[in-house]
Amino acid sequence: MRVIGIDPGLRTMGWGVIESDGSRLRHIASGACTSGGGDLGLRLLALHRQLAEILGQFAPGAAAIEQTFVNRDGAGTLKLGQARGVALLTLAQAGLAIGEYAPNAVKKTVVGVGHADKRQIEHMVRLQLPGSDPQGPDEADALAIALCHAFHSRGVRAADRVKA
């Protein structure tokens, strides 16, 4: 199963593609989409176009995205939500089933604790995906989100086999 993980952001949207084959995980590619400055609509369009190109290039079979958390900056949270909406729309247009995960669930799955810091996430991503070299926290978080989805999907598939 090839999974794309998305760490939504208006300035920088991290993405990471991994392959999961049973318990084997492999890093395929990762990076960040950037929107530049200026008009909000044009920034969102830039994110959409870049993400659509990535989906076309790497052809994932599943997607995962981080849920939005509300912070003290209401305007910032709204802009993050708009970028997340663009990502969800782009993933849905590609026909992908989308898993959504709370930030603490991603950290607990990948690091083992729900309040891990950015350095711990990056370290565990590098350990679990040999050869990956995330260039910044957005890319590392996106790979962690993809890992979280792969782990949760594996558990669901195993549970389905037991029921059958």
Asked if 99 contacts 105 with a C-beta cutoff of 8 angstroms, the reply is no
Between CA 80 and CA 69 the distance in angstroms is 9
Q: Is 138 among the residues known to form the active site?
A: yes
Q: Is 66 among the residues known to form the active site?
A: yes
Give me the sheet containing 12-21, strands edge to edge. Answer: 24-34, 12-21, 2-7, 62-66, 98-101
SS3 31: strand
Distance of CA 48 to the CA centre of its chain: 15
- Could you tell me the two tokens for 61? 């079979």
Is residue 66 marked as binding? yes
Task: Out of 7, 19, 122, 141, pick the active-site residue.
Answer: 7
Is residue 7 marked as binding? yes
Task: Out of 19, 122, 138, 139, pick the active-site residue.
Answer: 138
Task: Out of 19, 66, 139, 141, pick the active-site residue.
Answer: 66
Partner residues linked to 15 by β-bridges: 6, 31
Q: Is 7 among the residues known to form the active site?
A: yes
- Could you tell me the two tokens for 104? 């603490």
Give φ, ψ of 59 to 5 degrees: 45, 60
User: Angle of helix 137-163 relative to helix 103-110, nearest 10 degrees?
Assistant: 80
Binding-site positions read: 7, 66, 138
Binding-site positions for Mg(2+) read: 7, 66, 138
Active site residues: 7, 66, 138
